[in-house]
Structure 1
């Protein structure tokens, strides 16, 4: 029956991250692969969802109040006015918001610029909508955007530029000068910008998320996609949104309705409570994740990973295998599962462009540290059992001789 499949379906491959997460479940492994918190969501948000279910909010529903709150947050964070009645679409998570956006703006053959490395969903959504992803590599070790590379990639076929900041998988927060280059490219080529801002509240070391939409001339050509998932520890609730100029938002809304009709009703109600969270909640969120980041960075650095770039946002660390490690990223991840019962993601799945250094794409491992302290300590303990007397991973090759001790987050 394979001949009955579409050409896209025939060429599509399973998500490596999903496969690794399923493997973690089957093997009872510690899952540092998939980006979801394994600890409880805030009780006031859960109670709001329970109350909504008990109040029979169980049918198709479109809650305008979420749009009002999102508009207020955009005003407070970025100083921008958006009309909650016309400019915001509630979707089933950021993923659907992004997919609906691609179907709303792309015609067959339109090009969409994506920065490399990048999250796997972007390429798939662009291709399904008939677009052509064009990858512009970010320069390691700080994942810097090169203006000339971006401008060279822009053509008369460029319909949009995708920006994910804070960035998955690297943890980069794009600098203001980089945002200005992206805005320049959009204005010069008269193309759109589509942003993924799901980690907007998760930044470290006094870094502040600045949305591309806030730059001069960008509000009328930027589509923001975001969600509740990461900020409120509810990745399974599937409440997200797109913010766009009214005519584009209307197209996204029409496609969303034809795809899923509405996001889960009781969780839309709970979103009203979540979006009213105090500033103290967001500060506490940052502090908790920052302590987890520091714990994992210290440990991985101590056992031989090269971490030239400390994550500035999100809850991932993109750690480079030391040059003396004998294994590539895929082999390393396989051995980590077999010998330590820990699942991480090989970095090669995030790269799409050919890079100048041979084998470069096979030297990174993505670890998710947005987990409970208990999970992170257990992972460290398992890996520590594989260290030799010098603190090296003795079964994986030789790392640099450094102290592998680290202090658990509070």
Structure 2
């Protein structure tokens, strides 16, 4: 019956990140692969969710108060006005908001520019819509944007640019100059932008997140997607949103209703409690993750990893293999699992080959097999246990 599958379904394979996470569970390994916190969500959010369930907020529901709060915070953070009645769509997590945004604007044959490395979900959504992903490689080790390379990626078929900042997997926060390059290209080429800003509150060393939509000429051509998941340690709640001009937001809502009808009702109620968190909550969150980041950086440096770029945001560390390692990223991860019982993600899964040209570009450069992504959104106990196991390696994993 496999031949009955659609061509799109046949083109998809299981997520290597989730497969590694499942493997970690089966063999009781320490999971530094998947980006979910292994510590409790804030107690006041859990109380709010339980209260909502007990108050029978258990049917289809759309909580307008979420939109009103998001409109206020968007104005405070980024300086532009959003109409809570028309410009926001509540979805089942950022993932669905992003997918619905892509389905709302991409037609078969449209080209979509992405930055490489990038999170795996983006390409899947584009291909399901019939679009063609076009990758622009960021320059290691600081993952800088080459403006000439970026501008050279545009053709008459380019419809949109995808931007994730702070970025998964690298932890890069795009600079103001880089954002201006992207915005200028979108305006000159009359292209849209779809942004993933789910790590907007997780930036370090006084770096501030700046939304692409806040730049001149960009609000009317940008769809922002984000969620509660990362900021409030509730990745299983699936409450996300898209913020966009009314005609885009309306289309996204219509698609969302066809896909899932509504986001989980009790968690929408609890989202109001989350979004009303005071400023010191966000500051404490940043300090906590910055400390975890520094702990993991020091740990990996001790066992030989090359870390020229410390994450500026997100809760991922994209670490280059030790210089004396002859192993690929995949081989190294296998050794980590077997010898230390620690699971991470081979970096090659975040790099892509540009299939939009007649001759696919050779993006599989050597450096693309030299990185591993570690998640530091873990408890201090988990990180300490990982430190003990990795410390016992004494670089043995890279010398075999």
Alignment TM-score, normalising by the size of structure 1: 0.95
Query: What is the match of residue 367 of structure 1?
Result: 374
Q: Distance in 1 between matches of 2:101 and 2:117?
A: 21
* C-alpha separation in 2, matches of 1:229 and 1:148: 35
1:355·1:361 contact (CA, 8 Å) conserved in 2?
Answer: no
Q: Which residue of 1 aligns with 2:321?
A: 321
Match of 2:358 in 1: none
The aligned runs of 1:8-407 (5 Å cut-off) are 8-353=8-353, 358-387=365-394, 393-397=395-399
Contact 2:49–2:267 (Cα < 8 Å) also in 1: yes
Deviation of residue 79 (structure 1)? 1.0
Mapped partners of 2:71, 2:99: distance in 1: 22
For the aligned residue pairs, the C-alpha RMSD in angstroms reads 1.0
- Aligned 8 A contact 2:352 2:363 in 1: no
> Following TM superposition, by how much is the alpha carbon of 1:348 offset from its aligned partner in structure 2, in angstroms?
0.1
CA deviation map 1:56-104 (0-9, x unaligned): 1111111111001111110110111000000000000000000001110
Runs of 5+ consecutive residues of structure 2 not aligned to the other structure: 354-360
The Cα shift of 1:395 comes to 3.2
Deviations 1:311-361 (A, max 9, x none): 000000000002211211001111111111111000000001456784221
- After superposing the two structures, state which structure 1 stretch, 323-332 or 163-172, moved more: 323-332
Q: Is the 8 A contact 1:155 1:189 kept in 2?
A: no
Give 1:269 shift: 0.2
Superposition deviation, residue 383 in structure 1: 1.0
The Cα shift of 1:156 comes to: 1.1
In structure 2, distance between residues paired with 1:145 and 1:358: 17
TM-score when normalising by structure 2 = 0.97
Which string of whole-angstrom CA distances, capped at 9 and with x for unpartnered residues, describes residues 180-214 of structure 1? 00001101110100000000000001100000000
1:130-188 Cα distance to aligned partner (Å, 9 max, x none): 11000000011100011111111011111100000000000000000000000011011
Q: Is the contact between residue 304 and residue 323 of structure 2 (CA under 8 Å) also seen in structure 1?
A: no
Contact 1:60 1:262 in 2 (8 A): yes
Report the Cα distance in structure 1 between the residues aligned to 2:87 and 2:381, rounded to whole angstroms. Answer: 42
Q: CA 1:69 to 1:305, structure 2 compared with 1: closer, same or farther past 3 Å?
A: same
Contact 1:310–1:317 (8 Å) recurs in 2: yes
Tell me the distance in 2 between the aligned counterparts of 1:63 and 1:48: 14
Q: Secondary structure at the match of 1:153?
A: coil
- Partner secondary structure for residue 396 of structure 2: coil
Q: CA deviation at 1:396?
A: 2.4
**SS of the residue 1:261 aligns to:** coil
Distance 1:358 1:160, change over 3 A: closer
Residue 11 of structure 1 deviates from its aligned partner by: 1.5
User: Does the 8 Å CA contact 1:115/1:137 hold for their aligned counterparts?
Assistant: yes
Q: Is the 8 A contact 2:36 2:233 kept in 1?
A: yes
**Within 2, Cα distance between the matches of 1:371 and 1:345?**
15
Between the aligned partners of 1:165 and 1:183, the Cα distance in structure 2 is 14
The separation in 1 between residues aligned to 2:10 and 2:2, in whole angstroms, is 8
Check conservation: 2:32, 2:375, Cα contact below 8 A. yes
Unaligned 5+ segments in structure 1 are 388-392, 399-410
CA distance in 2, matches of 1:251, 1:275: 25
- Name the CA distance, whole Å, in 2 between partners of 1:149 and 1:188: 16
Taking the aligned partners of 2:191 and 2:297, their CA distance within structure 1 comes to: 38
